[in-house]
Structure 1
Amino acid sequence: MPAPQDPRNLPIRQQMEALIRRKQAEITQGLESIDTVKFHADTWTRGNDGGGGTSMVIQDGTTFEKGGVNVSVVYGQLSPAAVSAMKADHKNLRLPEDPKTGLPVTDG
């Protein structure tokens, strides 16, 4: 069996996503330990290659009437209009060579 990949070698976006998902699991497990019901997970995706997330909801327990612990991971291209709007407050934002392409939301 191959050794699992060292997470420190992954792109920073993937490292951050893994951290946030671990924290979501820790939080939901901790809250479940003080209630009589479990969280229900709803996992979703944003298009073919734009991210996704997991919504975790707990309800009708003895401790919590209703609560949620959600994670959203979104990536893709900022439209040229969004880049122009951001440039108003971020003068040092570099524009792409072809302004019609927009900017990536993450560096992948």
Structure 2
Amino acid sequence: MAEGATLRVALIVWIAAFSVASAPVAAQVAPPPVSVPEDPDQQIKCKKFAAVGSIIRKIKVCKTLAEWRRAQQAGNDAARAIVGENVCSGGECRGYEPPDAPP
């Protein structure tokens, strides 16, 4: 008779555990909806870069798309100035000056 009682207790515990595990949790809250700006240039994009001196460590940088575009354009302008216009040849580096600027 003791074995039958033990079996019934084990069955009740198993059923209780199953019903608790399968019950939905009321404390789970959905995250708030992410608002997408109307202007696509105001959307934020994050990029990961390797930290200087480290193979594993990464640095996460988040900017708007307009800021990423401006940074890329500034880098391209600086490279064109150095390569195409020889700003550092024959003397002191004078920096980038747009072609339409007066001398």
Q: TM-score by structure 1 length?
A: 0.27
More helix, by proportion: 2
State the structure with more CA Rg: 2
Q: Give the number of the structure with larger relative contact order, counting CA–CA contacts within 8 Å between residues 6 or more apart.
A: 1
